[in-house]
Amino acid sequence: MSASGPSLSQAFAVLGLHGPADTVVVARAFRLAVKAARPDLPGGDDARFRRVIAAYRLIQSRGGARAALAAPVRRPAALPVVGLTPHQALKGGQATLRFCGRTLKVTVPPGMRTGEHLRLKGAGAGGGDLYLPILIRACEGLTVVGDDLHMTWPTSRRLLADGGRVEIHTPAGTRPAWITPGLTDPVRLRLRGLGLPARGKHGQGHLFVHLTPAEDPPSAAEDLLARFTRVWTPERLAA
C-alpha cells in the first residue's frame, strides 16, 4: 500500500481477492481475513489486522460492495459458495455442497483463486451452466492473499538474534532458509514459487513465512544438567 493510501485494487488484494466479486464473497473474505489477522490469536498480526479493516472500509466507501461487485452472470441469490482450504487451492480436489435440495460434488482444479467462479456445465436452470463463486478459507495455519500463501513458523530466539539456517515445514515439504543476524521483529521470509500455481492470467505465487520468536530448546549440556538435577535431588543425596 502506498503512503498516500491504498488503491481499490490493493484493498481487494488484502482480502485475498483479485478484483470485483459478489457482495457475499467480499463479506466472507473479510471475515476470514480479519479472523486470521487478529493479534490476540496465534499467527495474528496487529498491523495486518488494521490493514484488513482499512481495506474493507475502503471497498465499502467506494460502493465496491454493491455495483462494483456485480456478478458477471445472473445467478440465484441463494447460490452456494465453494469453500476451499489453501491445500485444496494448491492441489485441487473435491468439494460437496447443497443447492436447491440437491447434493453437488464438484471437482476443483488446482490454482483457483478467491472471487473466481467454477463453471458446472448443464447444472443450472433449464440445463444451462451454473457458476459457483470460490472462497479460500484460512486453515491449518495457512492463509491465501491473492496468489500468495502466508504462514507462521516458530523460530528460536537465539537463531533470530544470531542468524543461521532454519528448516521450515511448508505445504511443499521441508525447505531450508537462512536468517540474517540482527533482524528486527517482525521477520518475514519469501520462498519463491511455493504459492498458488500459475493458472490463466495469474502467475505463480510465493510463500511468505512469518517467523515468530519461540523459546530456545536446551543445548545438549543443558539437557544433561537438567536430567542430572532431576535424578540427584537433595532427598536422594540425603538417603
Question: pLDDT tens across 108-153, in order?
Answer: 999 999 888 888 877 666 667 778 888 888 888 899 988 999 999 9
Question: pLDDT tens across 149-189, in order?
Answer: 999 999 888 888 888 999 999 999 999 999 988 777 778 89
Q: Counting beta carbons within 10 angstroms of the beta carbon of residue 211, is it exposed (0 to 12), middle (13 to 18) or buried (19 or more)?
A: buried
Q: Are 34 and 50 in contact (CB under 8 A)?
A: no
Calpha distance 205→149 (Å, rounded) = 7
Domains plus CATH for the chain? 8-136 (2.60.260.20), 147-221 (2.60.260.20)
Which pLDDT value is given to residue 74? 47
Calpha distance 150→133 (Å, rounded) = 22
> H helices of 80-219, where?
86-91, 157-162
Give the closest residue to 48 by CA, choosing from 231, 110, 189, 56. Answer: 56
And the C-alpha cell for 175?
A: 525447505
And the C-alpha cell for 164?
A: 543461521
> H helices of 1-105, where?
8-14, 23-37, 46-61, 86-91
Calpha distance 80→123 (Å, rounded) = 13
Q: What is the mean pLDDT of residues 215-219?
A: 61
Kindly tell me the number of DSSP H helices and DSSP E strands found in the chain: 7, 11
pTM above 0.85, yes or no: no
